[in-house]
Amino acid sequence: MKLVIFTPASKKSAIAKCSALISGELLTRGHQVTIVRTESEAILDSAMHNFGVSVMKWTDKQRVENIVRNADSLIYQIGDNYEFHQGGLAWLEKWMGTVVLHDFFLGHLFWARFQHDYSQAKKILCTWYSEDVANDYFNYSSSEAFIEGTRKVAPMTEWICSMANSVITHSGWESERVLKACAGPVRLLPLGYNKPSDISSKAKTQASDCLDKFVVLTIGHVNLNKRAESVIKAIANSSVLKKRCIYHLVGAIQEDMASRLTDLAKTNGVTLVISGELEEHDLISAIEECDVMSCLRWPCLEAASASLIEALLNGKPTIVTDAGFYSELPSSCVVKINYKNELAELQKTLELLYKDPAYCKTISEEGRRWASMTFTVENYVSGLIETALALSKSAPILNAIHYFSNTISRWSEAPDAFFFDEETLSRLKIFENLE
């Protein structure tokens, strides 16, 4: 098959890493792969992963157009980061394809796309949600208020999926929104994320300097929903943990967030190490050198978590919030925390993991075993090809649906009302007795 994958390529993108693994497996199986990188122009020339093929930019419109017209399958990697996915969104609006949905909340993507086109934004918001939602959408005072105010009533999942002729997602917790919006095949596939085989080159991290300490690690972009404040407070509340624990943060972090967490840790006597973004081999070393990984999230917005998969594949005891994607994980592989009782349960869990090495070994071994069978690129690519074949069979029906939908939209400013118009319905009665 000839497949075109629209994806970020930057080494800073976990989705790009997944795409590189997928591309390699597709090439091994004899498929033709074209990679179109989708970042905003400011980072379109940044260092990228190795995809095994040459990579073109989404802004090279004529070349992309020629490739798209002759492709068997268009695959769009979509997540809630406009800087990484601007190009994918731009081409998806022109050419429908398979959307690989990495986040169930796509509010930031929508906001960035339509912040200067309020009339179109309002039309979309009213179509899927309500006029009240549309009127409030661009008026929130902060990112946190925006997420809290829109994640349940207007996550924009339907907006993206309505542009897809098939969808692949990585968990089922918000799948009803996907099914509502996409008329084509919808498939749930565990994310393909094989552990790198060459991890012999290690660099010491700051947190590993004291080998007798108990190191808790959080990786990824450090924002409020990573619950770093809660980890610091849970450590501070425990006399045992406070003496022995180092909390290590690895990933992009804003200066104000770093200052806020540093001040909180100092005030509570907690040892905090903030390393910022690390190169791949340094990140792997940080994971290997920690004792526990915290993958807490609230609110839960993702369809899957690369950092969770990294933790399990590296055999680390892992703490998660019992919500969203994380609630679907086997309880034998992770320790689940109830968000409503987060601090108390987190403290109790960290103390248990510190005091009980046998339990740590059991849960980490089970987590590695399960993850190594579940999150494989081989399984993922097989599902990807099966979805493409299923889509090819349903394409005539989908094309007919879109043709008649567009025709009806041109007939009436209110297409929904068109079907309930008495005059229209009365004329359709001539078909009632046909067999």
pLDDT tens-digit series, residues 320-342: 999 999 999 999 999 999 999 99
Look at residue 214 in the predicted model and tell me its pLDDT. 96
pLDDT of residue 159: 97
Whole-number pLDDT of residue 393: 73
Res 199: pLDDT: 43
Residue 406 has pLDDT above 50, yes or no: yes
What are the DSSP E strand ranges found in 132-265? 166-169, 186-188, 214-219, 245-250
Whether 197 shows a pLDDT value over 50: the answer reads no
Name the nearest CA neighbour of 162 among 71, 99, 239.
Answer: 99
- Outline where DSSP puts E strands in 302-398: 318-321, 335-337
The predicted pLDDT at position 203 comes to: 40
Query: What pLDDT does residue 201 have?
Result: 37
Q: Which is more confidently placed, 60 or 412?
A: 60
Looking at residue 269, the DSSP 8-state letter turns out to be: T
Hey, which CATH number is domain 2-106+155-194+379-385, 1.25.40.20, 3.40.1160.10, 3.40.1710.10, 3.40.50.11930?
3.40.50.11930
Q: How far is CA 266 from CA 110, 186, 276, 324, 388, in A?
A: 38, 48, 18, 33, 53
Provide the token pair at 394.
């349903």
Q: How many CB atoms lie within 10 A of CB 368?
A: 18
pLDDT of residue 219: 97
Tokens, residue 175: 């799948």
pLDDT of residue 155: 97
**For 237-376, where are the alpha helices, taking DSSP H only?**
239-244, 255-268, 280-289, 306-313, 324-327, 342-355, 357-374
Per-residue pLDDT reduced to its tens digit, 29-70: 999 999 999 999 999 999 999 999 999 999 999 999 999 999
> What is d(CA 295, CA 302) in angstroms, rounded to the nearest whole number?
12
Give yes or no on whether 2-106+155-194+379-385 and 206-375 have one common fold. Answer: yes
Mean pLDDT of the chain: 90
Residues composing the chain:
435
Give tens-digit pLDDT for 271-323.
999 999 998 889 999 999 999 999 999 999 999 999 999 999 999 999 999 99
> What's the topology of domain 206-375?
Rossmann fold (3.40.50)
- The whole model's pTM is what? 0.88
- Strand 73-78 relative to strand 2-7: parallel, antiparallel, unpaired? parallel
C-alpha to C-alpha distance for 319 and 266, rounded to whole angstroms: 24
Who wins on pLDDT, 182 or 419?
A: 182
Q: What six digits make up the tokens of 258?
A: 């770093």
Where in the chain are the domains? 2-106+155-194+379-385, 206-375
What tens digit of pLDDT does each residue of 203-238 get?
444 554 555 789 999 999 999 999 999 999 999 999
The Cα 131–Cα 127 span in angstroms is 9
What confidence tier does 183 reach under pLDDT thresholds 50, 70, 90? confident
Amino acid 391: pLDDT: 87
3-state secondary structure of 421: coil
- 2 sits in which H/E element: strand 2-7
Report the C-alpha gap between 314 and 219 in whole angstroms.
13
Nearest to 156 by CA among 115, 118, 103, 83: 103
Q: Which of 167, 141, 165, 135 is nearest to 153 (CA)?
A: 135
**Mean per-residue pLDDT for 119-127?**
96
pLDDT of res. 81 = 96
